[in-house]
């Protein structure tokens, strides 16, 4: 990312780099916003930009093919089969702003966060059969 460049990184979030500061904005205008909530896809995009502008830090990036860390399913939230979760998202039942989720199986939850719009990025990961969803 070049100094002075503004870039849309997804879900209505823009990043700007002045050579020293990384500025996040919830719109493309110069009017500041108070709070920005980053979904999983935007977090990944932001991480990639930070790696790009911080020379010598590439060795610290996260390998997304790493094995996930697992923990038992919590007593709260909603467990959805991935197919049902995607069908609900495509029919408008979920949006990225409704909450957050983690890839899961029927018995345990991973540490890999997802939002409805980023589910397709994980379609080839056969170890996941469910999404553990938490409404805001």
Q: How many CB atoms lie within 10 A of CB 125?
A: 15
Of 89, 109, 106, 90, nearest to 98 by C-alpha is 89
Tens of pLDDT, residue by residue over 39-62, are 777 777 877 887 777 765 554 444
pLDDT band at 99 (very low <50, low <70, confident <90, very high): confident
Tell me the percentage of the chain whose pLDDT exceeds 90: 24
pLDDT score of 134 more than 80: yes
CA atoms within 13 A on the CB side of 65: 1
Do the beta carbons of residue 73 and residue 109 sit within 8 Å? Answer: yes
Give the torsion sign (CA, 19, 14, 136, 33). positive
- Over range 98-127, report the average pLDDT: 87
């Amino acid at each position: 990312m070049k100094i002075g460049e503004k870039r849309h990184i997804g879900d209505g979030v823009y990043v700007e780099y002045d050579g020293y500061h990384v500025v996040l904005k919830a719109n493309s205008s110069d009017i500041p916003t108070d709070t920005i909530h980053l979904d999983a896809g935007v977090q990944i995009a932001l991480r990639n930009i930070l790696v790009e502008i911080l020379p010598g830090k590439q060795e610290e990036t996260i390998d997304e093919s790493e094995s996930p860390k697992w923990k038992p399913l919590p007593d709260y939230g909603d467990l959805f089969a991935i197919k049902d979760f995607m069908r609900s998202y495509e029919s408008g039942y979920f949006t990225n702003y409704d909450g957050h989720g983690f890839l899961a199986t029927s018995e345990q939850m991973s540490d890999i966060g997802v939002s409805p719009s980023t589910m397709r990025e994980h379609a080839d990961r056969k170890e996941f059969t469910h999404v553990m969803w938490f409404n805001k």
